[in-house]
Amino acid sequence: MNALTAAPNIAASITRPFIAFEQASVTFGRGEKAVQALQPTDLTISEGDFVALVGPSGCGKSTILKMVSELLKPSSGYVFIGGREIGANPIRIGMAYQNPTLLPWLNIRDNVMLPLKIVPPFRGEFSAKRKGEFRDRVEALLAQVGLSGFGDKYPWQLSGGMMQRANLCRALIHDPELLLLDEPFGALDQFTREELWAIMQDLWLSKKLTVLLVTHDLREAAYLANRICVMSARPGRILDDSPVDMPRPRTIEMTFQPDFVALNQRLRAMIVGARGGTGIVNHPPGQG
Amino acid sequence: MQRILDIARDKAASTALIIGVFVFWEIFCLAANISDILLPRPTQIIAALVKFWPAIWPHTYQTLYTTLVGFAFGVAIGVAIGVLIGSSRLAYDTAYPLLVGFSSIPKVAVVPIFVLWYGAGTVPAILTAMIICIFPIVVNVATGIATVEPELEDVMKTLKASKLDILWNVSLPRAMPYFFASLKVAIALAFVGSVVAETVASNRGIGNMMMIASSSFNVPLVFAGLFVLAGLGVSLYAIFSLIEYRITGWAHRKTDLAAS
């Protein structure tokens, strides 16, 4: 626990960078129609870290996420994951979007099991273990997010918050080394969202995985993350990279304490500045 | 019991309408004194149906056979093309204009070509039934596959799922409701196809029987043929609806909830 709470300064940390962006930029389209989505960016995330990306909409947060998940290649520069350039890395990734996209024809258990059917080494054992070991594994994970007994239900029988819990389970069932979250709690009401923050924190503390969270919600970022990266308006770049020095496990009450509020306000001011594009805030980006 | 009553209540209106149409038809023919050469009454048609049944049955069997065989081929080819153009943007853009052009040809116009190739009889009827039901299946399967949520596709790709994994686990099950909806349309079209072919060039089948009956002015028998076709069409439609409901009930849960 202590090692995790005391991992603020990543540049000085000795753990090897798990994710490293080296002057990675993304441009969509060509010629005159080309739109730069992400300016050349440096970013390193060490193993076991929890990093939040915040910023105005369309700032390239999701672009960064897509590069990490190999859905998008950088137009220039490099992205390394686990020490290898993307495209060649064998690490397991879990992903959860705001839209839970559970498959309506499968019950929750089979929905959560889906990655085991696809990701090696589980896929080779799928038919043999789906009724035994894998089923227990799913039940255990469902219990951890407060969904025990819901395995037989279908997605449409669940509330939005419950679907999002199942979605988290699906993103975690195959023991990913890296979890990517793209505004996963954005569509939920305040109280459900706070409940899920607590669940997310518990999952992270118990599984020791690396998490990259994209969010609009500054309280969410501050509650969950070890580090918050603020991005500028398109074309995106990282304006600020601040550690969140709060002990774990954090509570919702802590988000109303003065240092928390001060942090939120500082981040908020930066994003407001970034939205206006006035460049009021002139922090050196990241490790710059 | 309650369930049966519920179903009966749901069906009561449509049953009443069907009976009403026939009663109106009967009374109209009697009141206007219409000759059975022009428009036989439903009772005369049913009488003809009973009287000529031994002669009608082999034709019914032939039509059912050509329709189902043509339909089966049509489904196989339609699903294959639908999966192909639904999962690849390039294949879609490339093949769609040709498919649309192909489907706009009136199918009765190609029957003579099939006859030229295979002679009159069973084969042209099967082929006509087949090509007429391919298009709706292709369009529906392709739509079902092409409209998979992009986020879900990203989730699958992040798991390093192959195209085949995505197709098998996500796209195909997702396309099932579209597929079954198209089957109901396609089976009705397949009947049209085989009967058209039989009418133009065959010595067997309901279409052929109706041609012969009309040339000998046995109009009640012509109408009996229509009744047989309608009966077959409705039965197959009902069978496919039932299968659809069983397999893709997840897509119909809203009506379920509303009914319960």
Structure confidence by residue, pLDDT tens digits, B115-124 = 999 988 899 9
Percentage above 70 pLDDT, chain A: 89
pLDDT at A242 over 90: no
Report the complex ipTM: 0.77
pLDDT tens-digit series, residues B173-221: 989 989 998 998 899 899 999 999 998 888 889 999 999 999 999 999 9
**Angstrom distance (rounded) from CA B208 to CA A262:** 87
Q: Say if A98 falls within a structural domain.
A: no
Quick one: pLDDT at residue A88?
A: 63
Identify whether residues B109 and B178 lie together within a single domain.
yes
Minimum distance, in Å, between the CA of residue A97 and any CA atom of chain B:
7
State the residue range of the domain holding A276.
1-91+178-188+212-288
C-beta separation of A93 from A117 below 8 A: no
Best A68, A70, A97, A101 member to test B by mutation, with max B CBs in 10 Å, is: A101
Query: Both B205 and B222 in a single domain?
Result: yes
Residue A239 lies in a domain: yes
| Degrees, nearest 5: CA angle A23-A219-A165 | 90
Does B161 contact A180 at a Cβ distance shorter than 8 Å? Answer: no
Are B30 and B108 contained in the same domain?
no
Tokens of A260: 């928390």
Same domain, B28 and B137: no
Evaluate if residue A36 carries a pLDDT over 90.
Answer: no
Q: Select from B159, B162, B178, B257 the residue whose CB has the most chain A CBs within 10 Å, as the one to mutate to test that interface.
A: B159
β-pairing, A35-46 vs A17-28, is antiparallel
Chain B: residue whose CA lies nearest to A106: B250
Total domains, chain A: 1
Asked, for residue A59, whether it belongs to a domain, the answer is yes
Write out pLDDT tens, residues A86-142: 666 578 889 998 888 899 989 999 999 999 988 887 888 888 777 788 889 899 989
CATH at residue B73: 1.10.3720.10
Q: Give the range of the structural domain holding residue B209, as residue numbers without chain letter.
A: 40-259
The verdict on a CB contact (< 8 Å) between B156 and A180 is no
Tell me, yes or no, whether B28 and B115 share the same domain.
no
Q: Measure CB to CB from residue B151 to each of A99, A104, A154 and give the nearest one.
A: A99
Contacting residues of A for B164, CB less than 8 Å apart: none
Arithmetic mean of pLDDT, A68-88: 81
Sheet-wide strand order for A17-28: A35-46, A17-28, A76-81, A84-85
The pLDDT score that the predictor gives to residue B62 is: 93
Q: What is the largest CA-CA distance in chain A?
A: 60
What are the φ and ψ backbone dihedral angles of A197, each rounded to 5 degrees? -60, -45
Q: How far apart are the first and last CA of chain A?
A: 29
Average pLDDT, chain A: 83
- Please tell me the pTM assigned to this model: 0.78
Same domain, B28 and B123: no
Residues B44 and B141 grouped into a single domain: yes
pLDDT tens for residues B131-188? 999 999 999 999 899 888 888 888 888 888 888 889 999 999 989 989 998 998 899 8
Query: Based on the domain organization, do B118 and B212 belong to the same domain?
Result: yes
At residue A214, φ and ψ (nearest 5 deg) are -105, 130
Min Cα separation B242/chain A (Å): 17
Is the domain of B108 the same as that of B184? yes
pLDDT, position A15: 54
**What is the C-alpha separation between A72 and A85, in angstroms, rounded?**
13
Residue B24 has pLDDT above 60, yes or no: yes
Domain with A84 in it: what CATH number?
A: 3.40.50.300
Interface of A with B (CB under 8 A): 66, 69-71, 93-97, 99, 101, 103-105, 114-115, 117-119, 154, 156, 170-171, 174, 180
- Is A61 within a domain? yes
pLDDT range class, residue B89, cuts 50, 70, 90: confident
**Averaged confidence pLDDT in chain B:** 88
When pLDDT is averaged across residues A145-154 and rounded to a whole number, the result is: 89
Question: Do B105 and B14 share a domain, yes or no?
Answer: no
A171 is a domain residue:
no
Q: Classify residue A152: in a domain, yes or no.
A: no
Q: What is the pLDDT of residue B256?
A: 46
**pLDDT over 70, % of chain B:** 96
Q: Are residues B132 and B224 both part of a single domain?
A: yes
| CB-based contact B237:B188 (threshold 8 Å) | yes
Whether residues B153 and B24 share a domain: the answer is no
> Which residues from B are below 8 Å from A86, CB to CB?
none
Instruction: Give percent of chain B above pLDDT 90.
Output: 47
Residue B76: band (very low, low, confident or very high) from pLDDT cuts 50, 70, 90? very high
Binary contact (B248, A115; C-beta < 8 A): no
Residue A264 domain-assigned (yes or no): yes
Q: Is the pLDDT of residue A7 over 60?
A: no
Q: Nearest-CA neighbor of A47 among A4, A89, A85?
A: A4
CB contact under 8 A, A105 and B152: no
Percent of chain A with pLDDT over 90: 19
pLDDT of residue A16: 64
- Closest residue in chain B to residue A173, using alpha carbons only: B159
Q: Dump the DSSP string for A171-240.
A: HHTT--SEEEEESTTTTS-HHHHHHHHHHHHHHHHHH--EEEEE-S-HHHHHHH-SEEEEEPSSSB-EEE
In this structure, how many other beta carbons lie within 10 angstroms of the beta carbon of residue A49? 23
Residue B176: closest C-alpha in chain A? A105
Chain pair A-B, CB pairs under 8 angstroms: 58
pLDDT at A280: 45
Substitution target in B147, B149, B158 with the highest count of A β-carbons within 10 Å is B158
**Residue B1's pLDDT band (cuts 50, 70, 90):** low
Question: Would residue A259 count as lying in a domain?
Answer: yes
Q: Residue A127: its pLDDT value, please?
A: 80
